[in-house]
């Protein structure tokens, strides 16, 4: 080896690179001016020869120069001293020997040309890194992850990952034979972020991060910011560029404040994961069109899609889509829905993440995304890691993930799952399994602050976006504004409502009367928050939960759906797949949209009034839904018994009561028992009211009656009839002649 070259080389540093323990390889490899020359060093494990082709920036003729690099270490470390200190662009030509027999005696030469990954300056700016470290980088996915890009004339991929506890991080993949020695990343100051630009890497190639710990252990990690994960063969992240899709109905977002106003009717169809996957394949355009048609016919205002993010159960990747979900197909589906005036709500679970070996758990050998103490860092069953919401970098990632999910696909709402697990340190845990907060309580104060920050970020990014909490706890002020001490959600999924209703309807009708109060008690807390009611369970057959034969199961199913529609709160349910039941859902959605009493004052306790809620013998309920206008009042009667009945219920006003809906209608597969003739309030007292109406109700049925006030002429006639009925008339005396 050239003596001058030998003296210029830092052999201890070279050994650090060869043994892949270096977090600042750019300080050794690549071009470095030495006097009037430039020292270029490169590491190509297993290479036999490396030549360099280079240009001098000060050469007016731009003459191409060649030089053979010297093998400084047999592991594949090469060096050359070029006679210039103004080195311009350059490329390596690398020759390797690939054994073609089992004994390793015969080799095949392979040659490839590449630019030097260590010839490029740092890409991430100090400002970007400061924002990420401070937790204010709400587009962290644009900083970290794998991004196809071009620097000058060189195409490649910029990789960046947060792993402050690592000794060294390398990118391994299809572009370097999965060899962690090839592309060791540079540590960017004290940010904990590593980055590298790899020339020649391209979209569609699989990769992982190889994390080397100080104790020598190697960890293989998926990219937390990858936009795609492959589960075929070797599980790995996949380099993915942004999918280009031009929305035809982008103006839909401009109406969200009106669509999601508190007084607006919101009826959401929950789509099952199986249904979603069926329509999101690349070749499923007709299925997408058919689905949109069904939702339009059913007159839903929104559709809720199950989580499209990668992983089973606890999410594995917060930016990558599930296998089988095509990004362009999802964009097209949402655009089609917007074209029909249907909003889209996406689901996200930020309560924790999978403990899978290649995921976020112990990412860099430390508890980076979770708490170190397992009492804080693990779920009650130990199957899931819980996020450390106090970490600014974790907050950056999670908020970025939700904003990316919403903005990338043009969604109109977000449902945050398992909020209770986020809010409570002792969720599902026994004494000794959790750690109290600094005030000695069980609330996760860091999670509460994070949720408020997330809600604020969402509202700023997408004005009018619908924010829904799936919360099974009794935490106060879920849907109040953060300024008022609340969490900032718009709606809370009322899980006790659906649990109580379905449990009640699972009883044999003969025994329901004695449990009637268990169904009616929920009205006490129905006005505490802005609620979303949900009887739909994402595609499972609800009817199977109910007693009786097929006809009775169907009647109970219709009763459950109709009861949700007339109860205060926005609506969430699934299409049943039964033609007559889905026809009924369409009719209910039409009434829900048309009649203000069913949607205008969901949080006003004065808009709901019991008529009869204690008739355990007949097992029926009757109540009013109201607005400020008495003429908009509706009366609801629900017969939960298994037999048809004549029912008398008190009413608040004199007037007429017209049946406008009945689950027992023949059109909906019922027995046809209804009240075709308008019912007039009579003078018979009932339920503490001076007036009442007599109704005929089929078994397991619910009916809605519209109140129609008397006209002046009708009122005069009623008064006359009442006076005549209640006043004795003097008879004419017979004359003698007539005798």
The confidence band for 715, taking pLDDT boundaries of 50, 70 and 90, is confident
Task: Kindly give, in sequence order, each residue whose CB lies less than 8 Å from that of residue 529, ignoring residues fewer than 6 positions away.
Answer: 477, 478, 479, 480, 492, 603
pLDDT at 232: 86
Pairing of strands 413-416, 466-469: parallel
Q: Say if residue 539's pLDDT is above 60.
A: no
What are phi and psi for residue 441, nearest 5 degrees? -95, 180
Mean pLDDT of 274-300: 90
Kindly report, residue by residue over 147-177, the tens digit of the pLDDT: 999 999 999 999 999 999 999 999 999 999 9
DSSP letters, 653-687, are SSSEEEEEEETT-GGGTS------SPEEPBS--BT
Residue 552 CB burial class (10 angstroms; 0-12, 13-18, ≥19): middle
Residue 456's SS3 state is helix
What is the C-alpha separation between 109 and 98, in angstroms, rounded?
A: 6
Q: Say if residue 712's pLDDT is above 70.
A: yes
Token code pair at residue 316? 């594995």
What is the C-alpha separation between 55 and 53, in angstroms, rounded?
A: 7
pLDDT at 737: 56
**Domains parsed from the chain with CATH numbers:** 3-119 (2.60.40.10), 126-238 (2.60.40.10), 605-725 (2.60.40.1180)
Residue 647: strand pairing partners: 695
Please identify which residue in the block is written with the tokens 């990004």. Answer: 327
Kindly report, residue by residue over 40-71, the tens digit of the pLDDT: 999 999 899 999 999 999 998 889 999 999 99
pLDDT at 723: 82
* Helices 550-566 + 579-594 axis angle, to 10: 10
What is the C-alpha separation between 709 and 652, in angstroms, rounded?
A: 11
Kindly report, residue by residue over 482-515, the tens digit of the pLDDT: 999 999 999 999 989 999 999 999 999 999 999 9
What is the C-alpha separation between 702 and 718, in angstroms, rounded?
A: 29
Kindly report, residue by residue over 302-341, the tens digit of the pLDDT: 999 999 988 655 677 899 998 888 899 999 999 999 999 9
What is the C-alpha separation between 428 and 386, in angstroms, rounded?
A: 13
What is the C-alpha separation between 150 and 270, in angstroms, rounded?
A: 42
DSSP letters, 517-543, are HHHHGGGGGTTSS-EEEE---TTS-GG
What is the percent of the chain with per-residue pLDDT over 90, rounded to a whole number? Answer: 82
């Amino acid at each position: 080896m050239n003596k001058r070259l030998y003296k210029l080389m830092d052999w201890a540093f070279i050994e650090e690179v060869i043994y892949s323990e270096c977090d600042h390889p750019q300080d050794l490899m690549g071009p470095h001016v030495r006097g009037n020359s430039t020292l270029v060093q490169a590491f190509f494990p297993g290479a036999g020869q490396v030549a360099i082709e280079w240009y001098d920036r000060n050469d007016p003729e731009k003459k191409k120069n060649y030089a053979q690099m010297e093998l400084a270490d047999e592991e594949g470390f090469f060096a050359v001293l070029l006679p210039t200190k103004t080195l311009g662009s350059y490329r390596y030509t690398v020759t390797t020997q690939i054994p073609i027999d089992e004994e390793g005696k015969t080799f095949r030469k392979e040659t490839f040309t590449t630019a030097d990954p260590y010839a490029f300056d740092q890409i991430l700016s100090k400002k970007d890194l400061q924002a990420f470290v401070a937790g204010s980088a709400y587009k962290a996915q644009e900083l970290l992850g794998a991004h196809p890009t071009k620097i000058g004339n060189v195409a490649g991929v910029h990789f960046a990952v947060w792993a402050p506890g690592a000794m060294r991080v390398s990118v391994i993949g299809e572009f370097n034979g999965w060899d962690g020695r090839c592309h060791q990343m540079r540590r960017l100051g004290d940010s904990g972020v590593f980055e590298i630009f790899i020339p020649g890497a391209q979209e569609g190639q699989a990769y992982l991060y190889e994390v080397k710990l100080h104790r020598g252990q190697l960890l293989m990690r998926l990219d937390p910011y990858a936009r795609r994960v492959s589960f075929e063969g070797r599980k790995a992240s996949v380099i993915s560029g942004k999918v280009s899709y031009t929305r035809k109905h982008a103006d839909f977002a401009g109406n969200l404040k009106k669509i999601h106003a508190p007084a607006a009717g919101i009826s959401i169809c929950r789509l099952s994961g199986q249904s979603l996957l069926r329509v999101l394949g690349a070749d499923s355009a007709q299925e997408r069109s058919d689905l949109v048609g069904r939702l339009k016919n059913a007159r839903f205002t929104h559709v809720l899609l199950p989580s499209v993010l990668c992983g089973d159960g606890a999410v594995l990747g917060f930016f990558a889509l599930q296998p089988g979900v095509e990004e362009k197909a999802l964009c097209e589906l949402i655009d089609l829905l917007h074209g029909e005036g249907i909003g889209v709500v996406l689901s996200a679970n930020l309560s924790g993440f999978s403990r899978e070996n290649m995921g976020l758990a112990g990412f860099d050998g430390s508890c980076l995304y979770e708490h170190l103490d397992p009492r804080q860092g693990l779920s009650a069953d130990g199957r899931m890691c819980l996020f450390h919401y106090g970490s600014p970098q974790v907050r950056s990632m999670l908020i970025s993930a939700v904003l990316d999910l919403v903005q990338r696909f043009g969604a109109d709402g977000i449902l945050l799952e398992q909020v209770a697990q986020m809010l409570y340190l002792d969720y599902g845990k026994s004494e000794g399994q959790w750690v109290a907060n600094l005030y000695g309580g069980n609330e996760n104060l860091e999670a509460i602050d994070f949720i408020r920050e997330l809600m604020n970020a969402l509202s700023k990014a997408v004005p009018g976006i619908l924010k829904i909490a799936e919360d099974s706890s009794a935490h106060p002020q879920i849907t109040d504004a953060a300024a008022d001490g609340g969490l900032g959600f718009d709606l809370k999924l009322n899980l006790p409502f659906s649990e109580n209703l379905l449990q009640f309807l699972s009883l044999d009708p003969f025994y329901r009367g004695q449990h009637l109060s268990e169904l009616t008690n929920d009205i006490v807390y129905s006005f505490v928050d802005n609620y979303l009611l949900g009887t739909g369970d994402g595609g499972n057959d609800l009817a199977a939960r109910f007693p009786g034969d097929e006809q009775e199961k169907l009647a109970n199913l219709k009763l459950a759906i109709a009861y949700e529609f007339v109860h205060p709160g926005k609506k969430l349910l699934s299409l049943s797949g039964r033609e007559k039941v889905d026809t009924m859902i369409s009719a209910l959605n039409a009434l829900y949209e048309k009649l203000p009493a069913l949607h205008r004052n969901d949080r006003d306790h004065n808009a709901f009034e019991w008529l009869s809620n204690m008739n355990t013998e007949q097992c029926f309920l009757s109540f009013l839904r109201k607005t400020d206008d008495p003429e908009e009042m509706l009366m609801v009667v629900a017969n939960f018994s298994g037999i048809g009945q004549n029912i008398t219920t008190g009413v608040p006003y004199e007037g007429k009561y017209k049946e406008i809906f009945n689950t027992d209608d023949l059109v909906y597969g019922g027995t046809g028992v209804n009240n075709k003739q308008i019912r007039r309030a009579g003078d018979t007292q009932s339920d503490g009211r001076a007036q009442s109406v007599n109704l005929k109700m089929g078994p397991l049925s619910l009916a809605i009656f519209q109140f129609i006030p008397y006209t002046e002429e009708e009122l005069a006639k009623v008064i006359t009839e009442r006076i005549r009925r209640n006043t004795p008339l003097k008879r004419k005396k017979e004359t003698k002649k007539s005798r």
